[in-house]
Amino acid sequence: MVAVDTNLLVYAHREDATWHKEAGANLLELANGNERWAIPWPCVHEFLAIVTHPRIYKPPTPAKIACEAIRVWMGSPELVLIGESSGYFDRLEELAVAARIVGGAIHDARVAALCLYHGVTEFWSVDRDFSRFAGLKVRNPLVHPPETNR
């Protein structure tokens, strides 16, 4: 199962993003495919925080439109929204200690732990910081397209 990071959601949503077309095509392929794919709940929250922030985007996306974008992705029959449940904290602790994660990087460890806990086989992100988490296969689909995109 592929999981998608916040940055791809933002790029796919914001028409003014440099990688809008490419990110949108990647998400569309996942959404219309026959295989399960995932968005971690923290990435949903972060997406909403970023696209609605007036200091990041001028004009920012109104909250109603940002939520509608999430609902469109949620309409994909193969989408799984992944979040914390019993046993998740063990994975988070393991990653944070092994990679010596502190401060704001705990958010990335949380996302990585959720992916590993839920059996994600590949995490699509533009953020290189995820490479520090052992066991999580990370791909930037904007630079290294998945096999199905070639």
- Residue 147 pLDDT: 67
- Nearest CA to 60 out of 68, 69, 50 is that of 50
For 83-121, letters b (16+ CB in 10 Å) and e give ebeeebeebbebbbeebebeeeeebbbbbbbbbbbbebe
Who contacts 9 (Cβ-Cβ below 8 Å, separation ≥6)?
A: 23, 27, 39, 43, 44, 47, 69, 73
Establish whether the linkage from the previous residue to 146 is cis, with ω within 30° of 0.
Answer: no
Q: Which CATH code, of 3.40.50.300, 3.40.718.10, 3.40.50.1010, 3.40.50.620, is assigned to 2-143?
A: 3.40.50.1010
- Residue 150 pLDDT: 36
Per-residue pLDDT tens digits for 118-147 = 999 999 999 999 999 989 999 999 987 776
pLDDT band, residue 48 (cuts 50/70/90): very high
Q: Domain locations in the chain?
A: 2-143
pLDDT band, residue 60 (cuts 50/70/90): very high
Angle at Cα 132 formed by Cα 116 and Cα 96, nearest 5°? 65
Mean pLDDT along residues 62-89: 96
Per-residue pLDDT tens digits for 91-104 = 999 999 999 999 98
